[in-house]
Amino acid sequence: MRLSRYFLPLLKENPSEAQIVSHRLMLRAGMIRQQAAGIYSWLPLGLRVLANIEAIVARELDKAGCIRLLLPTLQPAELWKESGRYDAFGKEMLRIKDRAERDLLYSPTCEEMIVDNFRAAIRSYKSLPLHLYQINWKFRDEVRPRFGVMRGREFYMKDGYSFHATLDDAKREYDKMYDVYHAIFKALGLTAIAVNANTGAIGGSMSHEFQVVAETGESALYYDATFDDIRSGKINMSSADMRKLYAAADELHIPEECPVPKERLRETRGIEVGQIFLLGSKYTDAMNIQVIGANGEAIVPEMGTYGIGVSRLVGAIIEASHDDNGIIWPESVAPFKVGLINLRVGDAKCDALCETLYDTLESKGVSVLYDDTEDRAGAKFASMDLIGLPWQLTVGPKGAERGVVELKNRKFGEKQELSVEATLAQLIK
Ligand code: P5A
């Protein structure tokens, strides 16, 4: 992508409405724009990151045997009246009437809608287990939308729902998703801590929240100090072993009953990037769902549900990975892998070398944002640091004369002067 042709509205000043660093940086880096409280446009740079996260989440779920579909964002109220949640959900639900005065709502979550799809198609235990998921917009009319995409009213969520013949089967899927979630967050460059949590408006008998530690997080957490060693990379632990360690959300932490000695107990704040629930038959009972069991009897399917805050993750990754100059994207989610800076646009050698680098990298599948504008060098460097692409490749007149360029790693800051061949070898892997 040529910067001169792109839509990247960077802000020079810190926006006064942003209280936390990720919100500030997303606005400054031209990733999002607020349209109403908790409702955002995703500008091209932000959308690329959102799409990368979405693709990683989908890839890991597909690998785990989950099946993707797409449900509508607008739902008829009748479904929610069947489950009893139409009234229970209260003011968080955005209620709409169509021209025929029929009650609709903008989906805050989709348990009812998925059960409705299940009942239209599944008759027998032989079709179980079945795990369906979607990645789609949700709306919750939060009392206090804040911190940008962290607590939006409109937000992008991965929501999965599994159906099983027995509660034991549902538990097994829950345990499997517990592991899959760790793998997903790891692939996104994050270490998540799974804490025991309340089931709230979703319901069920067991739940874990996946939390990324951050001072600015909205949840209070209590956990075994071993998690800090896992986070720092000092020790490596399997998801199964992690589950044996104590970790609880604020509301479930009872100091008198905590098994961890005081000196090993950590109290911090976290960003909830996902939550899983063992639902049992809450929705299948309420909506009268039955299928034929192995002995010909009627059984009520048992369920689980599994959520990931895809848009919230964009903010969470920035909270976990930035410095004073801007964002530092992990390669897996970076909007472009390389920022190519032409220090003297109009100089024949600089232009020719940049064009060669740009074409070669793009043709090898390495995404490049090419700064071909006439801005000052200082401004170009500052913008590249702000938007946080993993590699910065700078071409200046002296280097171009000798056929060398400068390659900087955004995370470690180290700069190398390299030949064109060596640069390409380094970036095309
Ligand atoms: C699980 C999937 C559910 O809704 N039903 C379908 C279950 N769970 S949840 O915990 O309520 O939401 C799942 C994840 O969505 C993110 N999230 C939000 N992100 C941004 N702004 C919001 N207002 C918001 N509300 C929830 C969280 O990451 C949460 O874990």
Residues with CB under 6 A from ligand 1: 109, 140, 142, 151-152, 155, 157, 159, 202, 272-275, 305-307, 309, 311-312
User: Cα separation of 197 and 253, whole Å?
Assistant: 9
Q: Residue 333: inside a domain, yes or no?
A: no
User: Cα separation of 360 and 255, whole Å?
Assistant: 60
Interval 60-68 mean pLDDT: 98
Q: What torsion do the CA atoms of 259, 261, 262, 264 make, to the nearest 10 degrees?
A: -110
Structure tokens at 49: 């990151």
Q: Which CA distances in Å does 318 have to 8, 35, 214, 364?
A: 18, 21, 10, 28
User: Cα separation of 190 and 231, whole Å?
Assistant: 9
- Asked if 34 and 90 sit in the same domain, the reply is yes
For helices 44-63 and 167-187, angle between their N-to-C axes, nearest 10 degrees: 140
Q: Which residue's CA lies nearest to atom 15 of ligand 1?
A: 309
User: Cα separation of 322 and 16, whole Å?
Assistant: 19
- Asked if 233 and 272 sit in the same domain, the reply is yes
> What are the tens digits of pLDDT across the range 256-287?
999 999 999 999 999 999 999 999 999 999 99
Interval 328-343 mean pLDDT: 98
- Asked if 269 and 408 sit in the same domain, the reply is no
Q: What is the CA(54)–ligand 1 centre distance, in A?
A: 15
- Asked if 70 and 206 sit in the same domain, the reply is yes
Q: What is the CATH number of the domain that holds 79?
A: 3.30.930.10
- Cβ atoms of 330 and 192 within 8 Å: the answer is no
Q: Which residue's CA lies nearest to atom 13 of ligand 1?
A: 307
User: Cα separation of 91 and 99, whole Å?
Assistant: 22
Q: Residue 9: inside a domain, yes or no?
A: yes
Q: What is the CA(222)–ligand 1 centre distance, in A?
A: 21
Percent of the chain with pLDDT over 90: 98
Q: Residue 193: inside a domain, yes or no?
A: yes
Q: What is the DSSP letter of 312?
A: H
What helix, strand, coil percent values describe the chain, rounded to 5?
Answer: 35, 30, 35
Q: What is the CA(150)–ligand 1 centre distance, in A?
A: 11
- Asked if 181 and 284 sit in the same domain, the reply is yes
> What are the tens digits of pLDDT across the range 11-60?
999 999 999 999 999 999 999 999 999 999 999 999 999 999 999 999 99
Interval 278-301 mean pLDDT: 97
- Asked if 223 and 154 sit in the same domain, the reply is yes
Percent of the chain with pLDDT over 70: 100
Question: HSE of 165 in the Cβ direction (CA atoms, 13 Å)?
Answer: 14
Q: Given 327, 355, 373, which residue is the final one in a domain?
A: 327
Q: What is the DSSP letter of 124?
A: B
User: Cα separation of 136 and 107, whole Å?
Assistant: 10
The pTM is what?
0.97
> What are the tens digits of pLDDT across the range 86-133?
999 999 999 999 999 999 999 999 999 999 999 999 999 999 999 999
Q: Given 303, 327, 351, which residue is the final one in a domain?
A: 327
Q: Is the pLDDT of residue 221 over 90?
A: yes
> What are the tens digits of pLDDT across the range 394-412?
999 999 999 999 999 999 9
pLDDT for 328 equals 98
- How sure is the predictor about 429, in pLDDT bands with cuts at 50, 70 and 90? confident
Q: What is the CA(108)–ligand 1 centre distance, in A?
A: 9
- Asked if 174 and 87 sit in the same domain, the reply is yes
pLDDT for 371 equals 98
For the chain, what is the mean pLDDT? 96
- Asked if 210 and 322 sit in the same domain, the reply is yes
| Domain, as residue range, for 418 | 338-427
Q: What is the CATH number of the domain that holds 397?
A: 3.40.50.800
User: Cα separation of 338 and 364, whole Å?
Assistant: 13
Angle value at C-alpha 47, between 384 and 57, nearest 5 degrees: 110
Q: Which residue's CA lies nearest to atom 1 of ligand 1?
A: 307
For helices 44-63 and 310-320, angle between their N-to-C axes, nearest 10 degrees: 110
Q: What is the CA(162)–ligand 1 centre distance, in A?
A: 17
Q: How many distinct structural domains can be found in the chain? A: 2
The terminus-to-terminus CA distance of the chain in angstroms comes to 20
